[in-house]
Structure 1
């Protein structure tokens, strides 16, 4: 009986949950025109305006973004070449864009790939933690950047909204600064962990380890990489996010969306933050719906807003799936040995 229950739970986790997640993503994408108040026919007219030259430029920006992220991966794992980092990036993105919680599967694939290249387990664990931290910090920082752009351009008309936006931006920047300091100084990590333990201790939450222990372990395992390679990690992440932002703005312009740059950056921040939603693979559907609503709020025409978001979704999500499996095939063929 216990085995049958366990098998049932395994079936739900491996088949039903991913299927439901993919279905939800497909439904949200298919209903995107209805959410925006436009039609697929109007979207087709917008897509027809995008020439092959523009597609080539957007593709080059997308590829440059993938290459920029190889600097983050190679900085986090000494000895990893840019070519191999590109394969890892493509495989991880492809899996994450297909499966909910695909990041965990991507990590498993990273271990499989790096092991065949002769890397030990511990450096790969540290690399995974470091890149995860830098991705998390960038996601925290993006909304603050978007809010600062809006405030700097005077694009927040309501005084109360401006105060709330400024406060939120300051808090997000403070979180990034605090986490960075915790990685750099042990006593900061200790104080931050103790404070988090006090807050969590007041909540009815069961936990196996204290946050102080987790933060100190995190710091100790990543200290060498973060202290010596943080400039390359940071510059690589900035380049990656910057190129994705330029790609997003390019998609807006290609589909005829009339929007100021600060507002475009704010919409991009919304899009990237919600890709962390684990309900659907890569936040697909959820991220796009919120981005379209943000663009509509900035006065972009419904058809243009929806077409630009879908075009960016093709580059940032859809195209990475076949590219990821192609990268996995390349790795499999190049590591295959005759008996």
Structure 2
């Protein structure tokens, strides 16, 4: 259902922004193969940078395996309804096959997701603040700036609460208390037993962040900045060259909208939001939409076949290894 909604939303985009698919196709086909190869290289470099963050979140994980985790998880998340949960299960299964225990996998999941979300929000907030100083932001972005600020403040408050034992317990108790499901199933009565494990996860995550903060920070910041460079390059190649403030604001809107869980990768919402910001800055509808779609083709669409192929190759190698072990036995 969510996949169909995403496809429908993207299909309606040209009419929404005031252009046609033929205009978009004309601009897209004008991009040279050499330029596409350069864009692909920039996209791959971003994935390589993010692998540093994943290896920092789970010491002992190699960069090739980190890239495999990222690509395979993204392929599932971008292709399936509720793909995020399926991707998390897939990555957990792969990590178990590589010899990591469930406790380390749980710590890795918490650490990587917290660092990823916090890093993106911080970069978005700093980028909007910087562009506000450099030039006039489009009026449509002012509301988005307020949303980013509110999200960043929420992250800071949650991080402050998780920084103490009492804050951690109060936060989790409050979240559970708000859910009618937990009240009916008596989860709150078992909170005392969970608290011990919860505090253990918090302590281990803190230790990992303190020990690996350089690698975690480099990975997330480099990944977001390289994605921003890819976004600008796609707009430049399609002829949409608004102000730096508009490009940054559109990129921020895309990154925030891509977290909307209604459609895979926020498809439809992210493209519409980013294109709307560019149009408000005076960009051509066809050029703006083509540039945004070209960028999304790399960060969302391309990850499905590449990640699926990498996962299929890994499964094939595992199968051959089991066959070889059976023969030699």
TM-score by shorter chain over 0.5: yes
How far off is 1:110 after superposition? Answer: 1.1
- Report what 2:87 is aligned to: 106
Structure 1 counterpart SS, 2:69:
helix
Distance 2:245 2:200 in 1: 39
Equivalence for 1:48: 29
CA distance in 2, matches of 1:299, 1:200: 47
Return the offset for 1:261: 1.8
CA distance in 2, matches of 1:117, 1:200: 33
SS class of match (2:59): coil
The CA distance in 2 between the partners of 1:330 and 1:52, in whole Å, is 27
The structure 2 residue matched to 1:330, chosen from 291, 313, 318, is 313
SS at match of 2:258: helix
2:247 is equivalent to residue 264 of structure 1: yes
Q: Retained in 2: the 8 A contact 1:251–1:311?
A: yes
Q: Secondary structure at the match of 1:119?
A: coil
Shift of 1:190: 5.9
Q: 2:115 aligns with which of 115, 134, 139?
A: 134
Deviations 1:175-229 (A, max 9, x none): 34334444555466467x39x93x997x786645679969756523422212211
Q: Residues 250, 334 of structure 1: CA spacing in aligned structure 2 closer, same or farther, 3 A cutoff?
A: same
Which consecutive residues of structure 1, in runs of 5 or more, have no partner in the other structure?
1-19
Q: Deviations over 1:85-112 (max 9, x none)?
A: 1111110010010012211111111122
Instruction: Indicate which of 25, 34, 48 corresponds to 1:67.
Output: 48
CA distance in 2 between counterparts of 1:157 and 1:49 reads 29
Pair 1:28–1:276, CA change in 2 (3 A): same
Using a 3 Å threshold, how does the CA distance of structure 1 residues 54 and 106 change in structure 2: closer, same or farther?
A: same
1:225 aligns with 2:204: no
Per-residue Cα deviation, 1:60-84 (whole angstroms, up to 9, x for no partner): 1100011111111111111111111
Corresponding position of 1:125 = 106
Aligned residues: 314
1:14-44 CA distance string (max 9 Å, x none): xxxxxx2221111111111111100112112
1:95 to 76, 101, 118: 76
**Structure 2 residue corresponding to 1:300, chosen from 283, 287, 290:** 283
Q: Indicate whether 1:150 and 2:131 are aligned.
A: yes
Instruction: State the Cα deviation string for residues 134-156 of structure 1 (Å, max 9, x = none).
Output: 12213433442343133112313
Tell me the equivalent position of 2:2: 21
Pairwise CA distance, 1:278: 1.3
Cα-Cα RMSD: 2.8
Contact 1:94-1:320 within 8 A present in 2 as well? yes
In structure 1, what is the Cα distance between the partners aligned to 2:145 and 2:233?
A: 28
Distance in 1, Cα, partners of 2:65 & 2:243: 38
Corresponding residue to 1:290 among 253, 273, 283: 273
Contact residue 147 and residue 165 of structure 1 kept, 8 A: no
Gaps of 5+ in 2: none
Q: Residues 220 and 277 (structure 1 numbering): CA distance in 2 closer, same or farther, change over 3 Å?
A: same
2:157 aligns with one of 178, 182, 185: 178
Structure 1 residues 171, 29: closer, same or farther in 2, change over 3 A?
closer
**TM norm structure 1:** 0.83
